[in-house]
Amino acid sequence: MQISARHADQTTIFDVSGDIDLANSPAVRKALLSEVREKRTPRVVMNLSKVRYIDSSGVASLVEGLKACRDLNLRFILFGLSPSAREVLQLSRLLKIFEVYDNEDQALAS
Amino acid sequence: MKTVKPSRQLDSNGLPALRDGLLLKLHLHSDPKLLCVVRGALERLTEVLGFSPSDCRSVTRAVDEALTNIMRHCYHGRIDQPIEVSCRRLPRRASSGEGLEILLSDRGPAVDPAKLRGRRLDEIKPGGLGLHFIRQSMDTVEYQRGRGVNRFRMVKYFQHTGSPNC
């Protein structure tokens, strides 16, 4: 799993690739929370188009990112969900809680 | 008291026949880095058995989440503890169809059955989702403790009417 951040126009975009599971969800959580709390860019976007699998610990990291953004009045956006990632958000009834788009253009135009 | 061992049956090639529909057995350490290895094996096994893509993902997810629970809650993050994964084909019975049974065994402390219920989903908070995913993904989920071993059994039945591919 790899995670990196890009910054553009009041937005931080995290590009994540690989599976997010117990082995690496702490790294996602750490990167996300430190960026949100230190940079406080108004819009935080997670590019998940290269993530094939997310487990419950990965979902928990996304929820923590969402809550941290809400606490600071920032937007938290996901795009590029794989079928598996979409299913776990549906199973946990979180799909409607997150702001989700199909691709980066849609996410940045929102 | 005498223990009578069953005679070893041979298949048409003269090799020991696979007993009880055993398809795959994995022994692994409780290292989260190995979760992707088990997911890969389960993805291929469920594909070969003819499960739908959605059911392949469900079975793989359930096994991954159950192993995650063992690593976190039974072994408390120790990465050198033993876990066994056994996958068997269940024959069609009068009361149920053909299916895939997955049995996970570990030697951690006994699990409190009250903690196997999972949490309510009406709160937006991190954590506590793994058991919910398992129950949503599998047809049968059972836990047993015996002789110092936790056994977590899950079954997924085939949805199609034909026979599995192996």
Nearest by Cα to B38 from A83, A23, A92, A85: A23
Give B115-164 pLDDT, tens digit per residue: 776 667 666 666 678 999 999 999 999 999 999 999 999 999 998 544 55
Would you call B132 and A64 a contact, using CB atoms and an 8 Å cutoff?
Answer: no
Distances (CA, A) of B106 to A27, B28, B55, B90, B97: 27, 10, 25, 22, 28
Give A29-50 pLDDT, tens digit per residue: 999 999 999 989 999 999 999 9
Torsion angle of C-alpha atoms A30, A3, B83, B37, degrees rounded to 10: 180
The DSSP code for B116 is G
Distances (CA, A) of B144 to B107, B113, B148, B151: 12, 9, 10, 5
Q: Count Cβ–Cβ pairs < 8 Å, chain A vs chain B.
A: 72
Give B78-129 pLDDT, tens digit per residue: 999 999 999 999 987 777 778 999 999 999 999 887 777 666 766 666 667 8
Would you call B72 and A63 a contact, using CB atoms and an 8 Å cutoff?
Answer: no
pLDDT surpasses 70 at B19:
no
Q: What is the mean pLDDT of chain A?
A: 94
Alpha carbons within 13 A on the beta-carbon side of B35: 28
Strands A2-8 and A11-17: antiparallel
**Residues B62-87: what's their mean pLDDT?**
96
Residue A3 · residue A18 · CB < 8 Å: no
ipTM value greater than 0.95: no
Q: Nearest-5° angle of CA B21, CA B131, CA B146?
A: 55
List CB contacts (< 8 A) between A68 and chain B: none
Would you call B136 and A83 a contact, using CB atoms and an 8 Å cutoff?
Answer: no
Nearest CA in chain B to A18: B36
